Amino acid sequence: MKKNIIGIVVLAALVLYGVYDFTGGNKEDGMIKTEDETKVSDEQSNPEEDSQEASQETAGSGEVETGIQEGNKAPDFQLTTLKGDTLKLSDLEGKKVLLNFWASWCPPCKAEMPHMQDFYTENKEQVEVVAVNLTSAESNKGNVQQFAKDYGLTFPIPYDENGEIGATYQAFTIPTSYWIDSNGLIQKKVVGPMSKDMMIKLAESIE
């Protein structure tokens, strides 16, 4: 009888742990981390020169490798947005893209979003903002919808429901952003929150 009671207690503990791990344990303490300090890839280099060099290398090699390094073709994806639309990344070629990965519970994401909305409002004719929500790390979609409403977000917010796109782009620390030029090539990766002024500077540095 005593063994049965111990077994039931252990089983209950495992079940409770599983619920925590599924609903919240993967936020701060699991695979996805938050980042308050902003880190730009190749910070010591000149963003404008990097963009030009990547374009020249692409023109000379003929075929561009798909990947997440600077100069690579950004991996394509198709997701459903918060508004129910279908968004395919490759359809945005011809326009600069700020591809952002975020979650509603992430403090630095919360700090960044007002800057991103202001940037989008003033630059949406030249730059498309795509804020991919890591929905697999959210407790429910309602949190995402409420977040977008509270912050007045008007740019596309695709749901990454199974975490596949976030994994492809190695968005294990958020916010993570990729700046993609009008040819669909990655020019910069930024880990951590960006200010509006930083977004403007990076947007101007790519073609």
| DSSP one-letter code for 21 | I
Q: Tens-of-pLDDT digits for all 207 residues of the chain?
A: 444 444 433 334 333 333 323 333 344 435 677 767 777 766 433 444 444 454 454 445 568 999 999 999 999 999 999 999 999 999 999 999 999 999 999 999 999 999 999 999 999 999 999 999 999 999 999 999 999 999 999 999 999 999 999 999 999 999 999 999 999 999 999 999 999 999 999 999 998
Residues 6+ apart with CB under 8 A from 17: 25
Query: And the tokens for 67?
Result: 């990947």
Give the strand pairing for 127-133 and 39-40.
Answer: unpaired
Listed by start position, the domains of the chain span: 1-30, 31-204
Q: How far apart are CA 183 and CA 95, in angstroms?
A: 8
Reported as half-sphere exposure (CB side, CA atoms, 13 A), residue 57 has a value of 15
The whole-model pTM stands at 0.77
**Contact indicator for 128, 157 with CB cutoff of 8 Å:** no
Q: Report the distance separating Cα 186 and Cα 69, nearest Å.
A: 7
Q: What is the CATH number of domain 31-204?
A: 3.40.30.10
Q: Is the peptide bond before 175 cis (omega within 30 degrees of 0)?
A: yes
Are 174 and 27 in contact by the 8 Å Cβ rule? The answer is: no
Extract the tokens encoding 115. Answer: 């800057």
Q: pLDDT for 58-97, tens place per residue?
A: 445 568 999 999 999 999 999 999 999 999 999 999 999 9
Measured CA to CA, the distance from residue 165 to residue 99 in angstroms comes to: 11
